[in-house]
Structure 1
């Protein structure tokens, strides 16, 4: 009976004993199948937790769209020292040297107690600090100099605003900056400001604006903006973006002067370079003549370098011009229209000198 049970354990389903090689092959196949199943389950779980980059990008709404890079995300070589930069140098235990330095137009700084200037342009602050330390050590002033240099102001990180603004200077660049932003920082337009601003692009702006252009031509280096339209309409397309290294120049409007026997003497700005100003228009802006005006003795004083005194006197007979019997004369920028007063004998004798003296202190009227 025991032998029959042992024989049953060693037989297969058909009742015959299995071959030894077949049993080993089945065991190997079973282990391989279990390994493949485990690997597949692991990959499936990982795929559910972390979708592929291609799948993620394809589901983004802005996939495949080339966006312009905002100007405040573009970095320049702002760590390199350039002429006119303001540096802050600190040397441990040497108070005579620890102060601010302005880089000269030639690209160097002059450190007290050192004979020769130290080249700075093109260096990063750490390199300049090392150069200063080596000079101090070579001069026998400090055995183990510890020097730090920082760029406090840099024209590469600033926008220059010049021309007819209240406070022309360099303004630090921070974030997105537009034309109106820098004019506001400059205190607004001056009284003699014209209607045009000229923007000269720096190297960084040229690189940024060249991106994404379909043609191979470079963007214009010099751009003009119509300030009158910008201020009146607030058109965002006219409010140009600025970049570090740009220069904004607000052009001055032409100014002419009407002085003497008029009701509103002063300086008046031309709206633009194309405006045609005449004597009759100028008298209208000056609110007409006074009753004591000597109409046939008026004159225009105009700058002329070819004349002995640097100006010419153009005689006017306002009586005939107002009556239409003489042509209206043009008035140009910097002209002085002088109308003598019968109550002032001195003004009649020395009309030109009196007109110039009066014009130097007049108020400039904006229209």
Structure 2
């Protein structure tokens, strides 16, 4: 074997050992707690959804069930001889075609109003006099609320329902889910945002009525990564009800090592679909001089050593992002 080939193999072995050392150093877990919201005006940081507080929006008057296309109706007429029964499905145009009485539009009407409309039709057509019409909704394929995101499913809504009942019917809120829920409602321009939290009083306040057609989105809180000059680099699990700040994440990772450059930390965050570098001054944050940062899902916090700081200073932002993301990928 030639000397050149031996040198190449030796170089490859050294690189492989270095990669293994990096993997071993970074594959340790981390966890953290949070003690309160930290406001800041820095762009891209601590962005949160505004919680809906208007009682008129959160607790509107209870709505009567209204008929919709696809509903199957059992129509009975009492007080006539012989008694009349019919079974009709509401067409896409919102009407039904009765054997007696012809076509009548019922979509958007309550059951009570539809009964009155049919009785009036029978009276005008001189089919039945003073007819007592009863409608039974036997199939209601469109009367449901939908849950998407970390919790998935549909729940029939044929009477009064509450948010927690709908979520519980689909398995409840998992540990990976956010406690801040979004409800999109037909006819309402802005979504409803509620925080069911981990406080029973807050949870009950957020247990709002749910109506047919509502779409409930349960978001994912995900993970964050702490890399570089900390005692225990690794992955931290975000909690739906207990946010984590940058300083707390570093503390959960055992703190910074010597000679960490805390005021030269980088936060790699997905902003608008693109990875972005946000410079953090951890020492300044620890001293209470500037606001802390609440971490988001897939945030990567890099605390450089003096040597790594010098290396990063010579690289483009694209290269820094690629390097840090590659380091975090090892931990997945």
- Under a length normalisation based on structure 1, what TM-score does the superposition of the two structures give? 0.40
Higher relative contact order (CA 8 A, sep 6+): 2
Based on CA coordinates, which of the two structures has the bigger radius of gyration? Answer: 1
- TM-score normalised to the size of structure 2? 0.44
